[in-house]
Amino acid sequence: MFTMAAFHLIFCLVVSILAHNISALTCDLSLQSMYFCLGPDAENDAIRFMKDVETDIGLLTFHVKNNGPEELPASVIGEHFHVKMYISALGDTGSMVDPYEVTTFKGGESKTNALAVSSDKRYPTFEYNLKYPSSLCPTHSHLCLRIENHGNYTDNETTNNFTCLPFIDGPDASGLTNCPSDVVPTSIKVIRPTPANFSVDIAVNVTFDVALKNAGGTKIPGSTSELDNIVFSSVFIANAPDESATVKSDLTDSLEYTRDDVSTGIVEWGEVTFTNLNVTILIPEIQCEEYRYFCVKLQKGVNATFDDDDSNNLLCSPFGDGGDIGVIHCPMPTTTVATTAMFTTHDDGCAERPNVIIITHPDVTGSSTVINMSTCVVVIATLISFKLS
Instruction: Read off the pLDDT of each residue in 278-290 and give the average, rounded to a whole number.
Output: 96
Q: How confident is the model at residue 274 (pLDDT cuts 50, 70, 90)?
A: very high
Residue 264 burial (CB count, 10 A): 17
The pTM of the full predicted model, rounded to 2 decimals, is: 0.75
Q: Is 152 helix (H, G, I), strand (E, B) or coil?
A: coil
Measured distance CA(374)–CA(30) in Å, rounded: 95
Lowest mean pLDDT among 4-18, 91-105, 315-329: 4-18
Measured distance CA(257)–CA(325) in Å, rounded: 18
Beta bridge partners of 164: 144
Lowest mean pLDDT among 66-70, 283-287, 371-375: 371-375
Residue 237: the pLDDT is 98
Give the rounded distance of the alpha carbon of 207 from its chain centre: 23
Instruction: Read off the pLDDT of each residue in 159-185 and give the average, rounded to a whole number.
Output: 93
Q: How confident is the model at residue 164 (pLDDT cuts 50, 70, 90)?
A: very high
Q: Which residues, at least 6 apart from 21, have a Cβ–Cβ distance to it below 8 Å?
A: none
Q: Is the pLDDT of residue 20 over 50?
A: no
pLDDT tens column, 107-133: 776 788 899 999 999 998 888 899 999
Q: Write the CA distances from 116 to 108, 164, 283, integer angstroms.
A: 19, 25, 69
Instruction: Tell me what the pLDDT averaged over the chain comes to.
Output: 82
**Structural domains for the chain:** 19-177 (2.60.40), 183-329 (2.60.40), 338-388 (no CATH)
What is the percent of the chain with per-residue pLDDT over 70, rounded to a whole number?
A: 77
Instruction: Read off the pLDDT of each residue in 47-74 and give the average, rounded to a whole number.
Output: 91
pLDDT tens column, 296-338: 999 999 889 999 999 999 999 999 998 999 999 999 876 555 5
CB 174 within 8 A of CB 34: no
